[in-house]
Amino acid sequence: MPTSHPRHSITETPALAAALAPLRERLGDQTPSLAELVARGAEARLRELEAQDRARSQTLASFVDRLVAAPAPDLAEADRIRRAVRRP
């Protein structure tokens, strides 16, 4: 049947069959279509990525908060150390 939408082909390899078997055993005739499973998988993956982004953002915010709250660096001491490390 002609369509303007992309088509996809999925080969049910032994690994895929093993992943689907428990779902098929449990749901029988009510097993979701592969299209539904792909959509659910895409949504789940997007939620994972968004959670990673939130965690990264919180980590960065925490780091910035610690930098802001830290005492000012002793620039004279840093310069003394830099000069001591340099060897002619």
The residues spanned by each domain of the chain are 32-85
Which pLDDT band, with edges at 50, 70 and 90, does 88 fall under? low
What is the model's pLDDT at position 69?
96
First vs last C-alpha separation in the chain:
79
- Chain-centroid distance, C-alpha 50: 7
What confidence tens digit (pLDDT) does each residue in 7-23 have? 889 999 999 999 999 99
Q: Residue 4 carries which DSSP code?
A: S
pLDDT of 86 reads 81
How far apart are the C-alpha atoms of 9 and 37, rounded to whole Å?
A: 14
pLDDT band with cut points at 50, 70 and 90 for residue 3: confident
Alpha helices in the chain (DSSP H): 14-27, 34-69, 75-85
pLDDT one-digit tens code per residue, 26-77 = 999 999 999 999 999 999 999 999 999 999 999 999 999 999 999 999 999 9
56: tokens are: 């990264």
Amino acid at 68: V
C-alpha Rg value of the chain to the nearest Å: 28
